Structure 1
Amino acid sequence: MQKQIISLACTLVFVLLTGCNAQQPIEHPAQAPRSTADSSVAAPAPTGPQNFDYYLLNLSWSPEFCHSHPSDIQCSQHSTFVLHGLWPENNDGSYPESCSRAPGPSDPSQYSDIYPDASLLQHEWKTHGTCSGLTPDAFFHLARRAVHSVAVPQTFASLDKQISLPPAKILGLFTEANPAIPATSLAMTCGSNYLTAVEVCLDKSLRAVACSGIRSCRANTVRIPPPR
């Protein structure tokens, strides 16, 4: 009887000792809860065309610009409508600007047909192109396509003297020359009752879309000086 008690006690001691030294299970890293620091790190902001709603193609009436900037390089070309910019816009009237410090195209001269002034090209890239989500070359190739997709009405292409027209008439001439561009996709800017630009609202594939959030010229008539 005494031997049985001793044996039972030894067995109990053995179990207690081996239980205390048993290896504990290790939690897999994938199962570990994220720390407070990890959970507070914001995901990178999305970049690319999804950050705006549409493009606003601004075609500046070069004769009006050259009236106050006669020495500008574009003025020696006696142009009519020229590209000012292809601008990302939002439907609520807001627009992104200067979205990064990414450098512009490595060879700006390849876009001299749409931007003869290299400083304007750099300004447009810094202010608007960096918000497009495109590389510099892709952005300016898109701008070139956008300009070439809009036909200048013959009334302006052959203008040899100053005329005055209501804004609705000016935009109507554009819709006549561009059947794929409805009136709702056009706007016009003016200053001191002079035509300054015609604007076209385009989606990210350069299809005409209804303008939203922008205002058009409200003058009764505007003066349109001829190319110099």
Structure 2
Amino acid sequence: MAVFLALSAWMTAGVPASADTPGDFDFYVLSLSWSPTYCQDRGRSDRIQCGGPRPFAFVVHGLWPQYERGSPRDCDVGPRSGLPRRLVDSMLDVMPSPSLVRHEWRTHGSCSGLEPSDYFDLTRQAHDAVRIPRQFVDLPDYLTVSPRDVEAAFIAANPGLKASGIAVSCDSRRLKEVRVCLTKDLRFRDCAEVDRKACRNNSLVMPPVR
């Protein structure tokens, strides 16, 4: 019996007691999308981000509650009447897509345990807490980089951030996102699973900011 109990405890270590319950998670991932890559794929169908007057570089994809292994999604927060238009519009400077704002609340924000306004306030705070390296604020031409180069630039710009707490996401040749792991009070932290899933390409292209 003792062996069975010990084995059961080992098998369930690190697994949340009640999966996909609002507020039951370990840390956040702030996902920053490289907007020029997204817009190359979407053309001008996303009129604010890709067809509007303002050019975008790194924008917020989302602030995602995470377990040490896996992540909750689409948590049950009761009847959903949709987000107020004013709240959606208030996020468009950092998340330039109304449909993205709504999707992120439904899929990820619902698992935060926060009210929508508090979740998006926290998302903005997370955005403001991560300094974008100066060379990526306005990129006038195509740039070839390695994932390690991008991580190193973010680490240099953000004291306390370590290589084990940031990951670059890519497609076959282009940089897509940078993901930064944060505690619930938005301090940098390690995240082994996120780091393991990072892009392993030797080099990537960053399309220019239009």
Aligned residues: 183
Change over 3 Å in CA distance of 1:104–1:211 after alignment to 2: farther
Answer yes or no: is the 8 Å Cα contact 2:72–2:111 preserved in 1: yes
User: Which residue of structure 1 aligns with residue 83 of structure 2?
Assistant: 105
Change over 3 Å in CA distance of 1:207–1:102 after alignment to 2: farther
Taking only aligned residues, the RMSD between alpha carbons, in angstroms, comes to 1.8
Alpha-carbon offset, residue 148 of structure 1? 1.0
| SS of alignment partner, residue 161 of structure 1 | coil
Q: 2:129 aligns with which of 145, 149, 164?
A: 149
Change over 3 Å in CA distance of 1:102–1:193 after alignment to 2: same
Cα distance between partner residues in 2 of 1:175 and 1:158? 19
Cα distance between partner residues in 2 of 1:171 and 1:131? 28
User: Which residue of structure 2 aligns with residue 74 of structure 1?
Assistant: 49
Alpha-carbon offset, residue 156 of structure 1? 1.2
Answer yes or no: is the 8 Å Cα contact 2:21–2:75 preserved in 1: no
Alpha-carbon offset, residue 212 of structure 1? 2.5
Alpha-carbon offset, residue 46 of structure 1? 9.7
| TM-score normalised to structure 1 length | 0.75
Asked if residue 56 in structure 1 is aligned to residue 34 in structure 2, the reply is no
Asked if residue 180 in structure 1 is aligned to residue 160 in structure 2, the reply is yes
User: Which residue of structure 1 aligns with residue 182 of structure 2?
Assistant: 202
Q: Deviations over 1:125-147 (max 9, x none)?
A: 00001000000000000000101
Cα distance between partner residues in 2 of 1:70 and 1:118? 17
Corresponding letter in the other structure for 2:175: L
Can you give the 5+ residue segments of structure 2 that lack an aligned partner in the other structure? Answer: 1-17
| TM-score normalised to structure 2 length | 0.81
User: Which residue of structure 2 aligns with residue 222 of structure 1?
Assistant: 204
Alpha-carbon offset, residue 48 of structure 1? 4.2
Cα distance between partner residues in 1 of 2:82 and 2:108? 11
Q: What are the equivalent positions in structure 2 for 1:134-145 lying under 5 Å apart?
A: 134-145=114-125
Asked if residue 115 in structure 1 is aligned to residue 95 in structure 2, the reply is yes
Cα distance between partner residues in 2 of 1:224 and 1:170? 10
Alpha-carbon offset, residue 90 of structure 1? 1.0
Cα distance between partner residues in 2 of 1:126 and 1:158? 31
Q: Deviations over 1:154-211 (max 9, x none)?
A: 1112321111111111100001111132222110100012100000000100111101
Answer yes or no: is the 8 Å Cα contact 1:105–1:137 preserved in 2: no
Answer yes or no: is the 8 Å Cα contact 2:20–2:73 preserved in 1: no
